[in-house]
Chain A
Amino acid sequence: MSVDNFCETISDQINTGILVVSLDFTIVKWNRFLQVHANVTPEKVLGKCIFDVFPELPKKWFERKLSSVIQLGTQSFCSWEQRHHLFELPHTRPITTDSHFMAQNCTFLPITSDNVITHICILIEDATDVCHYQTMLNKTLESLAMANRIDGLTQIFNRKHWEECLAKEFSRARRYNHGLALIMFDLDHFKLLNDTYGHLGGDKVLVETSKTIQSLLRLCDQFGRYGGEEFAIVLPETDLVGAADVAERIRAAIEGTDINFQDQIIRTSVSVGVSIINSQDKRYEDLIQNADNALYKAKSSGRNRVCLSTELP
């Protein structure tokens, strides 16, 4: 067997599609990989135009792609990550993946004879496996990123992510001289609720309170669980009057909500502190400190009420 024959054997055994076209897009080589996957014998495709054999090819794009190979005499690539497939071929994992066609990495190679490009070889690699696992990995990363931001019990932002949001909004408000308000509130006598109804009862109150309040907020407001039974809301572009209004609605909504827990009705209330950004605030922590002071005032003056860090204008 001569070495040329070896090459023929290898090109027919290799797990890569080898397709060669002349400069007028006529197919001149078609290896076994393509014969098997496209289920078309070489006799049916040799001498035919590639666009007739694969009508799904994006014709203009394909022609421009090949023109770069011909004009610049260099190889060109096409990855499944940007273009899932060029050729509609079945793949080797039809059962265990949800991919309809074979995901492909294609390489376009110039073939020269006496320094003149006469043909273009297109190598087609099956990337379905990689594509499948990469897609799974991306989904996992997304849900991890989500889990990293969300409080498991209440499904609102956790302390860390909420604080990052506040930091961002604070520097934006500073830079553009915009309004920014902060509401912090605490469930009244939460320890007593836990003692009376058990921790499951307490958890139910935290979950229901979060739901009730979320429905009162705008999309741009950032609502997070600050600590055990303490919550906080960042209100961008909001002045003291607007924030006081939201705070009062929150107080009233919680006071007026019945929470059903194991055939009992739990009623609760919140104490609310409100602060707005002012010219003395150097850091976002100052805003938290002011809201916290107002919250302390609300608690010490009898609970179930709203206190503001500064007087209403």
Chain B
Amino acid sequence: MSALNLNEDQQDCLQELINVAMGQASDQLARYLDTFVHLKVPSIEQVDAKSLSNSLNDEQMAVAVVSQGFFGYEGIRGEALLIYQPRDSDRLADLLGYEPEELSVEEQIIDLSSILTTTFLNVFAGQIDNQMSYSAPRLLSSTKSLVSEHLHQLSFNWDLALKIKITYQVTDYSFNCDMILLIPESAIINIKTVLNRILDEF
């Protein structure tokens, strides 16, 4: 077991922090979007660069992948990937409260990604007495192909990452998307420090 793996306590602690953050984020999103937003229980796992593409392969045909970097105090940083399926993008403008002709589908997707990512991470950061800043969200690709192909285009310079996957469901708009938080090797150790502190205080 590598020093980068979370032990059982750390994993439980992270899971609990995320669960609480999900509850609050879903509440805020529901109020802003004026509809129920369900966040499905996350999966937390370690991935290496090679297996990331494989582990995302079951996402099948994605129309869009949006990336947004996040960074906070104590070296907590990473990248959020929002992954959309073709059937999900029909009624986005409606969901976001814009007139469809006011903005392109790409802008809708980017806008929603930013809202989902920042809302969740702001709450999460609050849980660990932190505060997040964000880079501007970027559409990595919007052509119809496998997510793994989108990721193949990126060159990775990391070996291991902590992967947290959360699925968002907006039932009224039959909308789903996946948020995948990837925390690079260099920041995992910082996360562990924070988790240990919380466990000690507990």
User: A-side interface residues toward B, CB under 8 Å?
Assistant: 58, 60-61, 64-65, 67-68, 71-77, 79, 81-83, 105, 107
Q: Which residues of B contact A72 (CB under 8 A)?
A: 28-29, 32, 115, 118-119, 122
Count of chain B residues near A, Cβ 8 A? 26
Q: Which residues of A contact B138 (CB under 8 A)?
A: 79
10 A-B contacts, Cβ less than 8 Å apart? A60-B99, A64-B98, A65-B111, A68-B111, A72-B32, A72-B115, A74-B119, A76-B118, A79-B136, A82-B110
CA distance A64 to B99 in the complex (A): 10
Q: A64-B96, A82-B104 are in contact. Are A77 and B136 (CB under 8 A)?
A: yes
Confirm or deny: B97 has a beta carbon within 8 angstroms of a beta carbon on chain A: yes
Q: Which residues of B contact A73 (CB under 8 A)?
A: 122
Tell whether, in the assembled complex, residue A77 and residue B114 are in contact, meaning their CB atoms are under 8 Å apart: yes
Q: A68-B32, A82-B110 are in contact. Are A61 and B103 (CB under 8 A)?
A: yes
Which residue of the partner chain A has the closest CB to B97? A64
CB-contacts of B43-101 with A (<8 A): 96-99
CA distance A105 to B137 in the complex (A): 11
Which residue of the partner chain A has the closest CB to B118? A74
* A-B contacts besides A77-B134, A82-B139, 7 pairs, CB < 8 Å: A60-B98, A61-B98, A72-B115, A75-B134, A76-B118, A77-B136, A82-B106
Q: Which residues of A contact B40 (CB under 8 A)?
A: none
Q: A64-B98, A73-B122 are in contact. Are A107 and B136 (CB under 8 A)?
A: yes
Question: CB within 8 A of B114: which of A61, A76, A105?
Answer: A76
Question: CB within 8 A of B139: which of A81, A83, A105?
Answer: A81
- From residue B27, how far is it (CB to closest CB) to chain A in Å? 11
Q: Which residues of B contact A58 (CB under 8 A)?
A: 102
CA distance A61 to B104 in the complex (A): 12
CA distance A58 to B107 in the complex (A): 14
CA distance A107 to B119 in the complex (A): 16
Confirm or deny: B31 has a beta carbon within 8 angstroms of a beta carbon on chain A: yes
CA distance A72 to B117 in the complex (A): 11
- From residue B72, how far is it (CB to closest CB) to chain A in Å? 13
Q: A64-B97, A68-B32 are in contact. Are A74 and B115 (CB under 8 A)?
A: yes
Which residue of the partner chain A has the closest CB to B137? A77
Q: Which residues of A contact B103 (CB under 8 A)?
A: 61, 82-83
CA distance A65 to B98 in the complex (A): 9
Which residue of the partner chain A has the closest CB to B104? A82
CA distance A81 to B29 in the complex (A): 26
Tell whether, in the assembled complex, residue A60 and residue B102 are in contact, meaning their CB atoms are under 8 Å apart: yes
Q: Which residues of A contact B99 (CB under 8 A)?
A: 60-61
0/1 interface trace, chain B 113-157, chain A, CB 8 Å (1 if under): 011001100100000000001101111000000000000000000
Which residue of the partner chain B has the closest CB to A125? B136
CA distance A68 to B137 in the complex (A): 15
Q: Which residues of A contact B31 (CB under 8 A)?
A: 71
CA distance A64 to B114 in the complex (A): 14
Which residue of the partner chain A has the closest CB to B96? A64
- From residue A84, how far is it (CB to closest CB) to chain B in Å? 12
Which residue of the partner chain B has the closest CB to A71? B32
